[in-house]
Amino acid sequence: MKINKIDHVSINVNDLSAAKAFFLDLGLEVKAEWELDGEQLDRVVGLHNVKTACVGLGMPDGEAWVELVKFYTPSDEKDIERPFANTLGIRHICFAVENIESIVAKLKKNGTEIFSEIQQYEESYKLCYVRGPEGIILELAEKIK
C-alpha cells in the first residue's frame, strides 16, 4: 500500500462566489468548475438528494487543489462556524508564499481578518494566520532564506 500525494482539500461554503474570489485574490487559479447531482453522488457522500456546485482551484504549477463546494441540497442547518486555531479537527490550510508582507497588506486592504501581525518563527519562517470568508483559516508561511 502506498499514498502518492494529497489530491485536494475540500471546503464547504455557502457563498461560493466570495470564497472563490478570496482564493483567486491569493493567486490561485480556477482549474475546473462543475455541478453534480444524482444517485451516484448520493452514495459517494452518504447523503440523499445531493446537488452541488464546485470550483477546483490550484497553483499555476501545482497538482493539489483546493475544492470549494456549495451544497444546494441538502443544506446544512447550522450557522457558519468561526473556529479558533486550537479548535479540534481540521483547522487550517498552510500556503508557502513569497513576500508575505505584500500578501498580508493586500488581504488587510480587502477586509480579511488577520489573526496577528506577521511573526518570525526562529530563523526559519515568517508566519501569519488569516480568516477568509465563512471562517476559513489559512496560514501563510514564507521561508527565510
pLDDT tens digits for range 86-98: 888 888 999 999 9
* 83 burial type by CB count under 10 A (0-12 exposed, 13-18 middle, 19+ buried): middle
Which class would CATH give 8-73? Answer: alpha beta
pTM: 0.87
In the chain, what are the domain boundaries? 8-73, 93-143
93-143 to CATH, choices 2.40.30.260, 3.30.720.110, 3.40.50.300, 3.40.50.620? 3.30.720.110
Q: Based on DSSP, count helices (H) and strands (E) in the chain, helices before strands.
A: 3, 9
Judge if 8-73 and 93-143 fold alike in CATH terms. no
What are φ and ψ of residue 92, in 5° steps? -155, 165
Sheet holding 29-37, edge to edge: 8-12, 65-73, 51-58, 29-37
How far apart CA 36 and CA 42 sit, in angstroms, is: 10
Q: Say if residues 8 and 67 touch (Cβ distance below 8 Å).
A: yes
SS3 state of residue 138: strand
Residue 5: count other Cβ atoms within 10 Å of its Cβ.
6
Q: Say if residues 70 and 13 touch (Cβ distance below 8 Å).
A: yes
> Can you give the pLDDT of all 145 residues of the chain as single tens digits?
887 788 889 999 999 999 999 999 999 999 999 999 999 988 988 999 999 999 999 988 888 899 999 999 998 877 777 788 788 888 899 999 999 999 999 999 988 999 888 999 899 999 999 999 988 999 999 999 8
